[in-house]
Structure 1
Amino acid sequence: MEKRILDYTEWQDTADTLHLFLQMAGKVKVERSTKRPEWGHVRMPLTIDGIGTGIIPGNGSSFEIYFNLRQHHVDVQNTDGGKSRIPIEDGLSVADFYAQLMSALDYIGMATEINTTPQEFYDEAPFEQDNKHHSWDREAVAAYLENLHFAHRSLSRFLSPFRGKVDMPEFFFGTMDLSGSVFAGQAAPYSGTDMVGVNCFDEKFVEYGFWPGDVRMSKPAFFGMPYPFIPGIESYASMLKPDRAEFRTQMSEFILTLEDAFSYPDPEQAVVDMCRSSFEIVQRMDRWADLDWITEPLTYPASPRG
């Protein structure tokens, strides 16, 4: 595996362009999909070649928007055979892509009106007016995809054995992270009033994910975010593994940078260790009611026999 680490500052122009392209597809999915708890309906699955919306309910049929990040195009297609392809290349602006995406949706009979203000992004220029973001570095996109696959393997190893409600790693278009969560099944009402928070934070959980960095923190990193936010976690820092992982109080998150993960002999295990030890810290401070069942080992045989 190529261990290329992309600092956000190295590919910001391309990262932002990709982020905004994906946001448009995510917003189409938001408008069309049946609502699920914790914004589960907006998650976008990772595939071998890229990121897609998955199946979206349409007008009498279904459709999807798929970003092939190896061949550098976007396919918009429905279950009736309608298909439109948008090539992605350096110079394609956010405004131009928005116009092409809306045209493609109309072509397959799935015209969808979306809120064109970017979500959870530092620049609020509406998609149809954004001619500033138009970069496409193919090598950087390829490296990002490889990092997403590494993150998916690592996070899945940790998340898969949990019983109960678990979201496996998928893409969130708002913050451009690939993440999954373990839920306690215990209500934990949110004290804020913002739409995202009210519909995200409603029960105890810990989210684990990977994001490529942003304008506030340029290093790509794995994170663990417990909710409710627990004061005093830093006092358990000695339990956190591996040794380069840390709890950042200002973010209320456990952090292991991608660079640090790759510095260990077994990078995937380093990520699993960060997730597992941080989960143990959370349980030390606020033990979940059904923890014994949630963490009870699975009993599948090592080599299933038919």
Structure 2
Amino acid sequence: MDRWPSIPYAEWRETCASLHLWSQIIGKYRLAHTPWVNHSWHATLYVTPRGLTTGPVPDPGGLVTVSLDFCDHALVVEAGGGARATFPLRPMSVAEFFGLTKEAIRSIGGQPAIHGVPNEIADVVPFANDNAERPYDADAVRRFHKTLVNVSCLFQQFRTGFIGKVSPVHLFWGSFDLAVTRFSGRPAPMHPGGVPNLPDSVTREAYSHEVSSAGFWPGGSGAEDAMFYSYAYPAPSGFSERKVEPGEAWFDAALGEFLLPYEAVRQSKDPEQTLLLFLESTYRAAADTGNWPRSALECEPGRPRIPRRV
């Protein structure tokens, strides 16, 4: 099996769209019960060795975890005392998945308070009304999960070289991207908002401070294949003109961010080093053009069992 598997978006577009909506459903369950944390970090999903999870959700009935298991291809709901419910991931409508998920949460004593309309997608259909049968390509999902694991590990490593405020490595189910974000420590100008089907108050809180953010999309969202991205908010003067590495990366004016095709990373001689090169060079582009106090924010990359030097 390829360490960095092929995941051409066109071949599993419809399955990916299903996963996106399924991730929104379980993410909205976490959102409904978890106290707000800065930049919506309380609502995200996390990559695990088996798939994606909400992590422990403080449901009124006790802690509950909801996971998409991409090894056994099942949705799994677990609660304190060993309560567990599951159903198989297979071709089905979003409405069916929505109903089965709520039923599984109720069956273990949870309260499935899930807002019923997708976010950050134009022309949405409420989950309960989305009755079109959708495919489920289990092999594509398996390869996508392996990619998420690889990317999460590299993002975790990149995260360690920063002692300023930095986000967890987490998946935003609204836009369906795995991301990690560094902060300069300074407030940002108010974001204009305008994200489809997302309250402007949420967007403005998310971008309340200056950021350099990097992430990974499986495809869609203006990039019609799997892509790594990196952007700055607010974008400093000269940011888009900066030279970044590797050579396959470019600045996309329509999206307002640097892009690097996943396939360029996968086929490089050293995919891990190639991705880290992109993360570091695009961060430097944001920090240098934005006049970040880099010496006060950066440190040597972390290594196991070795404390950071002070």
Deviation sequence 1:156-196 (CA, Å, 0-9, x none): 22122211221232111111111111112211132425133
Going from structure 1 to structure 2, the CA distance change for 1:236 and 1:125 (only over 3 Å counts) comes to: same
Alpha-carbon distance in 2 for matches of 1:100, 1:191:
37
Output the amino acid matched with 2:37: R
Q: Indicate the residue corresponding to 1:260 in structure 2.
A: 264
Does the CA contact (< 8 Å) of 2:160 and 2:301 recur in 1? no
Q: Indicate the residue corresponding to 1:287 in structure 2.
A: 291
Q: Does 1:228 align with 2:229?
A: no
Q: Indicate the residue corresponding to 1:21 in structure 2.
A: 22
Does the CA contact (< 8 Å) of 1:13 and 1:133 recur in 2? no
Does the CA contact (< 8 Å) of 1:154 and 1:269 recur in 2? no
CA apart distance, 1:199? 1.8
SS at match of 1:223: strand
Q: Indicate the residue corresponding to 2:196 in structure 1.
A: none
Residues 12-21 or 121-130, more deviating? 121-130
Q: Does 1:204 align with 2:210?
A: yes
Count of residues paired in the alignment: 300
SS at match of 2:167: strand
- Which structure 1 residue ranges, 5 or more long, are not aligned? none
Q: Does 1:120 align with 2:126?
A: no
Residues 10-19 or 188-197, more deviating? 188-197
Q: Indicate the residue corresponding to 2:182 in structure 1.
A: 182
SS at match of 2:277: helix
Does the CA contact (< 8 Å) of 1:27 and 1:114 recur in 2? yes
Alpha-carbon distance in 1 for matches of 2:85, 2:303:
44
TM-score normalised by L of structure 2: 0.91
SS at match of 1:167: coil
Q: Percent sequence identity over matched residues?
A: 27
Q: Does 1:271 align with 2:266?
A: no
Alpha-carbon distance in 2 for matches of 1:185, 1:234:
22
Going from structure 1 to structure 2, the CA distance change for 1:298 and 1:13 (only over 3 Å counts) comes to: closer
Alpha-carbon distance in 2 for matches of 1:46, 1:245:
25
Output the amino acid matched with 1:161: G
Q: Indicate the residue corresponding to 1:62 in structure 2.
A: 63
Going from structure 1 to structure 2, the CA distance change for 1:220 and 1:298 (only over 3 Å counts) comes to: closer
Alpha-carbon distance in 2 for matches of 1:248, 1:217:
10
TM-score normalised by L of structure 1: 0.92
Does the CA contact (< 8 Å) of 2:170 and 2:178 recur in 1? yes
SS at match of 2:242: helix
